[in-house]
Structure 1
Amino acid sequence: MKHWSQYTYKTALLFEVLGTLDSAVTPGAYGAKSFVLRDGKESLPCVFYEIDRELPRLIRGRVHRCMGNYDTKRNIFKCVSVRPATIVEQRTFQEFVKTSDVEMRECVKTMNEV
């Protein structure tokens, strides 16, 4: 995700990430709820704004699925959807990432030709 974020100036990108909740959910300004996801050694600060719906109850130590945009300047993942990840999603996610990488390489190649 961090690698592909460099292309957000050329096209809109929406990312899907899976990670283990590694912090408490803390409230912030403007309905923000902040938390940290961890995947192995990598951690990802996240924010969800409760504009049109509430953040579901997140359980520390469980794997969650988040959709959103990565803000490279602030190093924060802005979530538009958060929910617990199913066992099937957890099992198939690495294959999904590999397939997405192949497609993104082709997309970037096409963007660079134009």
Structure 2
Amino acid sequence: MMYINAFLLGGILCALFQIFMMFTKLDPPRILVLGIALGALLTPYGMMDALGSWGGAGLALMCIGAGNAIGGSFMAFLGGNPMPIAIILGLLMILTSIGIVSGAVRVAVTKGPTSKSMGAK
């Protein structure tokens, strides 16, 4: 039954975000930020815990789940535990460093940006 609940919750959330994107004509990055903000706003009210216990991975894999992690970490920080915020900031720095290094490696391997990678035909 938990697989069905996860499938239903994930499908409903994806459909709602798709409908919202179609009617507002917003681009996908703005929709993702909206989902993260929605997850962070619903966390203090316990709605994310209720949805997560019912839908499981159907919620955890969505951008709303990232907002839940951010909101929960901030609530822990306000409660006097700075460790979750430190972990999230550390992960952000690690991922940013990986992106910079992989970009530098690509430029070094290809001897600079090529016309194909810059969008020219």
TM-score (norm 2): 0.29
Of Structure 1 and Structure 2, which has the larger fraction of its residues in strand? 1
TM-score (norm 1): 0.30
Of Structure 1 and Structure 2, which has the larger fraction of its residues in helix? 2
Give the greater-gyration-radius structure (CA): 2
